[in-house]
Structure 1
């Protein structure tokens, strides 16, 4: 197989490589190791975001994946303790590794507390620099996302034949339930709000509405935006039953993002989502939550060729006619032709025409394929939290009117 490592004459990597990425098709890529000194495995994808690499590397939806950043200069603003999307700052990242073009330089940002490579090492994430990421991205676009083994060894001792066999034997992402590795261990309450210059993150005192979020790999900024809308937020593990959710008397239910195959996680999650739908409680789902809501409503999901990973994806909202730029991270998608007549497609990707949003006609239940909290990314989609809260307010008003009539 061809070697798509850069020419050593460029200076990337050093004469003796300290890291390698071995793809399942036998391709060997050499470079300079960064971060944790370890061997990791995962599905290789590419991310087109130009900023927000720290949020990307702590997004639980990337569990089991090795991220190739297409932007060449990653690490130039360093790392800090605030831009972390796993709920607990001490929580390990689900990402299996990262692939970069240029070596990591000194941090150049007033918020930085350390270099990115030091941060990667502290979080146990291995990486490789000096890679022709354009060539690797083209390979993924042509052949699809494939498994790989990433090794960081300062001594440069690599058994390539053994690594090729290991990469080829790795299981496909199809059929994998990766949610147990990233979901909350137990119920907890959330009150933190969004970050502001000069004051950092705030706190929501009280809250008029109670939202229960089912955690399939939830990101911190989702919870912050819910709290920002004036909500009391309770987070439950992915294994929570519909009865456990409804016992908390939620005004609204949020189905979070997460990694892996929605059909695999849906084996236990979808029956509960169906019961929640039947209650008539407003529901808002994103990413994996969107896919499993689609399954619960009678649709199907399928593995994508290269997936959508980036903070610059155009999506059209059919309900308003507007186009928004969104943050996406998914390797599976809802198949629009499988949706029943009572489910309306609300959003569509303008990159490839794939489904990006649905709603159940006649009920306050909707979902989108992308990450509307956009950490990293643009804030075009924050309106969806307002749309969700309007559903919650209307449902509460209808409930109060019904109670008054009954009295």
Structure 2
């Protein structure tokens, strides 16, 4: 006898459908939630990959123990440039690369990333507050002038019109930028060999030879004694193999010695050290020395064929610890030893070591994109690499980072 199948009521079918529908809805909601979480996380991950705008410059303990001078260049077009070329009226023609035909702009968009920490972004108002009532003097050659003008451009944007002024001091190699609202002065003093020399005129100083008066620093140094912050450099003008060292006045220059550039540098740094020890109140004044910068004259250093140089270079060298052949390491060692001896005498001059980080930046020079103060000859024009400036730096650009490093050291000393 055939068994009867159990009857399924309408209510049972309805419940069954509701149950199955609930399961389907549950899985749909779960799938949607999972998808939402995925996209939220994806958005967060994508956001984290974007170059973030760095925090303003606040010196804190996170920089303690970090070697600010060992690191790499990272492309960052969110944080850089720190100002626009056309918005700074103080950039002279030799550093205004964009105004003189340079079309690429990536050279302005690199930040220095030290290993193990982050260098905070320059904050003009905060720096001006720290410098309120103070006088800063950059002393040295045209590369130090390059850095001084970078500092002026970094700060001036935060100062209203009518409350700032740039001028040359009469009868002195002194240029000064005044921030009246902050009672601050950011100055530059031209002294490429630190002591008195035949290169002392701030504009008429082209010489095939080098002559220094080894006993005379006071003519220059009397303009530095009342500074709160001193920023020195001296390197480029020591590039000749030998120089004359005078012991008499320029009017009676029969008595002199011819010495090597290394010996001359050592002698001048000793004279400078003695002056700094006896004439500067180191309780009030903080002193810094900017190390030598690279001059990218030989393209073969980074793999270029032929006799090229920095002309048409648009990106940094990315090889770790790259070193160009024109940098005189012996000069660097002489400087480091001089500063070490000074420290042993109780005078701490902080070395701001920008040498390695400039080695990579073959792209940061004006090359032919600058103002020339004399008419170029046909022979020069036929070979642009021969008159390309691979020594100085475009603004905005690499010197802005030097000032971020300088400010980090100044803030560390003031904290």
More helix by share: 2
- TM-score normalised by L of structure 2: 0.27
**Greater CA radius of gyration, 1 or 2?**
2
* Greater relative contact order (Cα < 8 A, sep 6+): 2
What is the TM-score with the length of structure 1 in the denominator?
0.27
More strand by share: 1
